[in-house]
Amino acid sequence: MKYVDEYRDQELAKTIAGAIATEADSEKSYHFMEFCGGHTHAMFRYGVQDLMPQNVHFVHGPGCPVCVLPICRLDDAVELAERHGVILCTYGDMMRVPGTKHRSLMRAKADGADVRMVYSTLDALKIARENPERQVVFFAIGFETTTPPTAVAIKRAEAEGFKNFSVFCNHVLTPAAISHILESPEVRELGIVKIDGFLGPSHVSSVIGSQPFEFFAEEFQKPVVIAGFEPLDVMQSVLMLIRQVNEDRHEVENEYTRVVTEEGNLKAQALVSAVFELRKTFDWRGLGTVPYSALRIRDAYADFDAEKRFELSVKASREVTSCECPSILRGVKKPTDCKLFGTVCTPQNPIGSCMVSSEGACAAYWTYGRFREPKPLEAAK
């Protein structure tokens, strides 16, 4: 398939793996955080880790929007569906994430709540159009990639004069999360999480561009390479990071030039800033409270803001204490460090969000890596 097969070519993969083995300094160790769950899955699915020398390590980051949503917001969504009797529209993965006391949207639906899986924001609008007597809420989650479609839905709802459509907004921002990780005690003071560079997000960068990452490269002196999601993209990006580390450079480089530009998608950015504004703080699962890391709906569109339309009660939300998702999302632990991994917690019976989402680290380990140990490069030759 054009534009896919070229990025999965075995011979090219061996060539890049050879270059990585040659250029990785055996006196050094390299720790690269992949922010996106999409990169984590590409690494596991295509065995990228197996092609790395022993001194190149991947640290899994918090770049899975389903995984980072705090339980309190999920509990709010369950409340919207159960107590306020709305039609709650959501993307598929969110339905299975357990909230407090393992209560998920799927369980709420089984108990009679009207929860519907949609593929796009426009599906939710269609449901609102077809059910004028019912309130329809779109449970909006995601990073900068999924924010523009939510803005489109709100704009369209306003243009069509919808009175029964609103959005429960949980859109979060990548740059703020990366800053928070780099400023965390585990990275800065304790040295528990070592990060020598970042594989930068690809789809997010297609919207916001590579320019916002200049700040980290400069301020924290960490190289960033915007990487595509195919295995050769990831490997080439690792090679670019190794070269930066070896040359003591800390720049933003763009491996994913076929999609990402420096300025990003200006039209999408304008649309998003017309509809949304920054929240002062937002709680992330794993990262805690992160300043200016999420969006809320502007007052001009308050009629479409579910948080204003419905009174949500303050709840005592609770994480499952033995679930290590929060530590995994900070790069402090790996899924296999969790004693529930593969025993109590599996994709069929997920205990935490990282096992539910198709981009979650636990799901990646379970699906592609649970029987494997990383091998030295020689095994791949």
Residues making up the chain, counted from first to last: 381
Q: What DSSP designation does 312 have?
A: P
Question: Please, which residue, 93 or 255, has the CB nearer to ligand SF4?
Answer: 93
Three-class SS state of 259: coil
Question: Please, which residue, 113 or 354, has the CB nearer to ligand SF4?
Answer: 354
CB of 101 vs ligand SF4, minimal distance in Å: 15
Residue 340 tokens read as 């529930």
CB of 338 vs ligand SF4, minimal distance in Å: 3
CB of 112 vs ligand SF4, minimal distance in Å: 27
CB of 261 vs ligand SF4, minimal distance in Å: 36
Q: Which residues would be at the binding site for ligand SF4 (CB under 6 A)?
A: 323-325, 328, 335, 338, 340-341, 345, 351-352, 354-355, 362
Helical (H) or strand (E) element with 167: strand 165-171
CB of 304 vs ligand SF4, minimal distance in Å: 33
Sequence-ordered list of residues with C-beta below 8 angstroms from that of 327, at least 6 positions apart, any chain:
286, 333, 337
Angle between helices 266-275 and 147-160 (to 10 degrees): 60
Return the residue nearest ligand SF4 (CB atom): 352
Question: Residue 19: is it exposed, middle or buried by C-beta count within 10 angstroms (0-12/13-18/19+)?
Answer: middle
Amino acid at 93: D
Question: Please, which residue, 277 or 337, has the CB nearer to ligand SF4?
Answer: 337
Residue bearing tokens 């529930």: 340
CA distance 257 to 253: 10
Residue bearing tokens 């519907």: 116
CA distance 34 to 358: 16
Question: Please, which residue, 234 or 329, has the CB nearer to ligand SF4?
Answer: 329
Question: Please, which residue, 176 or 325, has the CB nearer to ligand SF4?
Answer: 325
Question: Please, which residue, 66 or 154, has the CB nearer to ligand SF4?
Answer: 66
Sequence-ordered list of residues with C-beta below 8 angstroms from that of 84, at least 6 positions apart, any chain:
135, 310
Sequence-ordered list of residues with C-beta below 8 angstroms from that of 126, at least 6 positions apart, any chain:
none
Question: Please, which residue, 295 or 362, has the CB nearer to ligand SF4?
Answer: 362
CB of 359 vs ligand SF4, minimal distance in Å: 13
CB of 108 vs ligand SF4, minimal distance in Å: 20
